[in-house]
Amino acid sequence: MTTLDDIVSLCKRRGFIYPGSEIYGGITGFWDYGPMGSQLKRNLKNLWWKHMIQLRDDVVGLDAAIIMNPAVWEASGHTTAFADPLVECKVCHKRFRADKEEEMIAHTKEHKEAVVWTEPKQFNLLTEAYLGVTEPKQKVYLRGEITQGVFVNFQNVVDSTRVKIPFGIAQIGKAFRNEITPGNFTFRSREFEQMEMEFFIKPDEESGKKWFDYWKEQRMTWYRSLGFKAESLRFRDHRDDERAFYAKFATDIEYQAPFGWSEFEGIHHRGDWDLGKHKLTYKDPVTGEIFTPWVIETSGGVDRATLFLLLEAYTKEEKRIVLKLHPSLAPTTVAVFPLMPNKQELVEKAKNVYHQLKTDYSTAWDDRGNIGKRYLAQDETGTPFCVTIDFTTLEDDTVTIRFRDTASQERVPLQKLTEIIKTYMKEA
């Protein structure tokens, strides 16, 4: 079983994720993505955008500002209801979420004496910021969910495009939460990215059920297509006492993480909560009927999905560690090696191949150490193809392509290389 420590160590070693502001001692709940991690996250977001917007006729994109008029958060209910129950250990004054029983139980084991807890207090998660040059500065909030940016632009999108209900507005962006207990690596951070879609439907129970079930199935199928095994994922319906204040009902997609089944996407039936609070309505262009649409939301976490993809892909074999990432997600698609770095003619030929592949694929160059070590380094970052240029290449223009998952090698004509990679990527 892969542990969280395996992933934390790989992420640091291979440039996926580093602790935020590390040279100043770090800052709890913030993480920086390195060369490999930023590319992996970008690939994930691009696939999501393609699947949710580009390939559909009924969803459009948006990129709203992080900071909005604070009136948005008053109206949406976040300034009062966006809160977690906080308790404090009276022995050491550490604070915990009262709804995370396992974390409280683990903490009691850290003390010899019996732990006494304070009464739970509601702790608001919105992060405050201050704007302006003269005092008093204007208090604003860093968005606690990217969602409200969609609702405040609902009318703009309806007026400026040809969308008709049912339709969705999707976006990807940063959100901020003043989490009481950030932890489990990037799982619970204070700054994170969300990929969300708000789908506007007719306000009736039948449409609500139909679209809720539809999006549940769509989202699970998509995650499976990225390489999650069926048994690694499950749905979990929210109990009445844990549902967010805006939701009529909600289901999470959970991953079987080393720290237990954990949510990384929520499908929420938000009813007319948000458009109602913002006093927004929709006029049916055919019947002229005016109503407040209901909303089915799919809300995924980019950082959590990235962490779970790493956990799922991490494979320890006898002689190597391999990240069996889906080829479309792998930070590097193909690595090019000259067999020997000190043979000018090999390096020149390999550089040509490298520059040629770079126009189509994320391509890495490596001429350090021996070929075996270069393969191992690429396996650890999940590179699906390695191409070696050797002396035979100079004679007949063929190269060796080595496949990550099987470690098998094939000799192929250089001319066909791009096509072979393209076919393999399509079939993966």
Residue of 266, 293, 382, 384 that binds ligand GAP (CB under 6 A): 266
CB 116 to ligand GAP: min, Å: 28
Residue 194 interacts with ligand GAP (CB under 6 A): yes or no: yes
Segment lying near ligand GAP (by CB under 6 A), choices 201-209, 225-233, 296-304, 412-420: 296-304
CB 19 to ligand GAP: min, Å: 15
Residue of 84, 145, 366, 390 that binds ligand GAP (CB under 6 A): 145
Amino acid in position 22: E
Residue of 124, 299, 328, 383 that binds ligand GAP (CB under 6 A): 299
Give the nearer residue to ligand GAP in terms of CB position, either 301 or 338: 301
Measured distance CA(318)–CA(31) in Å, rounded: 31
Residue 265 interacts with ligand GAP (CB under 6 A): yes or no: yes
Instruction: End-to-end CA distance of the chain: give it in Å, rounded.
Output: 25
CB 192 to ligand GAP: min, Å: 4
Closest CA to 300 of 75, 123, 41: 41
Give the nearer residue to ligand GAP in terms of CB position, either 247 or 325: 247
Measured distance CA(63)–CA(149) in Å, rounded: 8
Segment lying near ligand GAP (by CB under 6 A), choices 231-239, 262-270, 384-392, 410-418: 262-270
Residue 177 interacts with ligand GAP (CB under 6 A): yes or no: yes
Measured distance CA(74)–CA(70) in Å, rounded: 7
Residue 379 interacts with ligand GAP (CB under 6 A): yes or no: no
DSSP letter, residue 50? I
Residue of 254, 263, 379, 390 that binds ligand GAP (CB under 6 A): 263
Measured distance CA(408)–CA(22) in Å, rounded: 39
C-alpha triplet 92, 98, 100: angle, nearest 5°: 100
CB 381 to ligand GAP: min, Å: 23
Residue 312 interacts with ligand GAP (CB under 6 A): yes or no: no
* Phi, psi (deg, nearest 5) at residue 268: -120, 135
Residue nearest to ligand GAP (CB): 301
Residue 147 interacts with ligand GAP (CB under 6 A): yes or no: yes
Q: What is the dihedral of CA 322, 304, 235, 84, to 10 degrees?
A: 150
**56-59 contacts at long range (C-beta below 8 A, 24 or more positions apart):** 56/168, 58/163, 58/166, 58/167, 58/168, 59/167, 59/168, 59/169, 59/170, 59/197, 59/199
Residue 60 CA, distance from chain mean position: 20
DSSP letter, residue 327? T
Segment lying near ligand GAP (by CB under 6 A), choices 40-48, 157-165, 261-269, 414-422: 261-269
Give the nearer residue to ligand GAP in terms of CB position, either 189 or 332: 189
Give the nearer residue to ligand GAP in terms of CB position, either 270 or 402: 270
Give the nearer residue to ligand GAP in terms of CB position, either 2 or 127: 127
> What b/e string do you get for 53-91 counting C-beta neighbours within 10 Å, with b at 16 or more?
beeeeebbebebeeebebebbebbebbeebbbebbbbeb
CB 132 to ligand GAP: min, Å: 28
Residue of 154, 173, 179, 404 that binds ligand GAP (CB under 6 A): 179
Segment lying near ligand GAP (by CB under 6 A), choices 84-92, 186-194, 326-334, 373-381: 186-194
For the chain, give the number of residues: 428
Chain positions contacting ligand GAP, by CB under 6 A: 145, 147, 177, 179, 188-189, 192, 194, 196, 263-266, 297, 299-301, 303-304
